[in-house]
Amino acid sequence: MTIEPPIEKPHHDSIFWVEVERIKPNPYQPRREFDEGALKELSESIRQYGVLQPLTVTRREIPREDGGLMVEYELIAGERRLRASRLASLSMVPVIIRTETHTDQEKLELAIIENVQREDLNPLDRARAFDQLAREFNFTMADIGRKIGKSREYVANSVRLLGLPDHIQNELVAGRLTEGHSRTLLMLNDRPEEQVVLMKEIMLKRLTVREAELIARRIAHDKIRKKGTVNPEIIELEKEFSSKLGTRVTIEPSSVGGKLVISYFSPDDLKSILEMIQLTATEDALSFLAGASVSQKDAADINAVVEAAAVENPELMDDRPQVERDYSSAEDADLYTIRNFTL
């Protein structure tokens, strides 16, 4: 038999026990991604404690050839619990039967509402579900917002994520990018190369959403600026500076002089830029000494610069591998410990 007596008095929210094999998936299931590891963990929990929250289904009666009726159930909400129950080899699961739900629109609405209220969808699954409601059932963003108890802006911002390139969507689903970072990257959809660079900076340097927005706006500003009458030599100098320092550099000329703007994202980033400038100056000086004929006075001046750099940053003049330098430092420190002296 399909059902056992209900746990409570029969009404549309009563809990019934239904055979797992008789529950069909919801064709409007908004969730696309299912983490296999998380499913296994859930199945182990279900194996030990059972399904604690009933699934939500609709009941369908299908005529049979012999004149009888075959009862079938279609899932509205609880896809993860159903899959995990199958992994746990359960034969029956608790369900709530929604008898008043029949249309495809109602099934999709209920599936979305249940998942959104439980925050059980990743940002892209949620965006696809909102988009499906808008396209197939002519809902406005405000209509969807009222259905799920969210603002129109929340719905619109979710749907905008579908405009991201596939490789960025993949990072979002994998959890390596947040929804806020992903919306920031939308600002650079027409500049794919810069978009990829910024995405990598966000992940490697762990930029905040605010920091990422500032960079994206600056890139967008650069695009507008470069469409104007900017001296091509200035643009080439910016590229050269950026390549040397490994960060974004802009030159803002004025009638007298101008500004050189070097972007950085953290105190450590600023320190590494400073070291790069000092290292470049030292290397240029050494290269000049090695390949040019200079007067004794010029050579003395250059040597003074190099020595000053060496005093301030002695590691810049040490060309040994880092491991060897660390070992040497530890060895020197150990040399002067008290155990090396005898009385």
Q: Which of 29-33, 156-160, 311-315, 329-333 bottoms out in mean pLDDT, i.e. has the lowest? A: 329-333
Note whether 261 and 252 are within 8 A (CB). Answer: yes
> How far does CA 195 lie from the centroid of its chain?
13
- Residues 211-265 have pLDDT tens digits of 998 888 888 766 555 555 567 787 788 778 877 777 777 787 777 778 888 876 6
338: pLDDT confidence band, cut at 50, 70 and 90?
Answer: very low
What CA–CA distances, in Å, run from 144 to 127, 151, 338?
Answer: 11, 9, 75
Q: 103: how many CB neighbours lie within 10 A of its CB? A: 9
∠330-313-202 over CA atoms, to 5°? 90
Domains defined for the chain, CATH in brackets: 15-121 (3.90.1530.30), 164-228 (1.10.10.2830), 232-265 (no CATH), 268-340 (no CATH)
Contacts of 162 (CB under 8 A, 6+ apart): 124, 127, 128, 131
Q: Which of 72, 74, 79, 283 is catalytic?
A: 79
Token pair, residue 114, equals 């249940």
Report the pLDDT averaged over residues 42-57: 87
Whether residue 116 has pLDDT greater than 80: no
C-alpha 152/C-alpha 159 separation (Å) is 11
40: pLDDT confidence band, cut at 50, 70 and 90?
Answer: confident
DSSP one-letter code for 65: T
Whether residue 269 has pLDDT greater than 60: yes
Report the pLDDT averaged over residues 65-71: 81
Q: Which of 59-68, 86-95, 293-302 bottoms out in mean pLDDT, i.e. has the lowest? A: 293-302
C-alpha 181/C-alpha 213 separation (Å) is 8
The rounded percent of the chain whose pLDDT value lies above 70 is 68
According to the model, what pLDDT value does residue 245 have? Answer: 75
Whether residue 6 has pLDDT greater than 50: no
Contacts of 285 (CB under 8 A, 6+ apart): 302, 305, 306
Which residue would you say has higher pLDDT here, 139 or 8?
A: 139
Active-site residue flag, 44 = no
C-alpha 267/C-alpha 166 separation (Å) is 33
Q: 112: how many CB neighbours lie within 10 A of its CB? A: 25
Whether residue 298 has pLDDT greater than 60: no
DSSP one-letter code for 24: E
Give the DSSP H or E segment for 18: strand 15-19
Report the pLDDT averaged over residues 146-167: 89
Contacts of 257 (CB under 8 A, 6+ apart): none
Token pair, residue 18, equals 């239904």
C-alpha 57/C-alpha 320 separation (Å) is 69
Indicate the length of the chain as a whole number: 343
Q: Which of 110-119, 134-143, 162-171, 182-191 bottoms out in mean pLDDT, i.e. has the lowest? A: 110-119
Note whether 279 and 287 are within 8 A (CB). Answer: no
8: pLDDT confidence band, cut at 50, 70 and 90?
Answer: very low
Report the pLDDT averaged over residues 200-219: 89
C-alpha 73/C-alpha 23 separation (Å) is 5
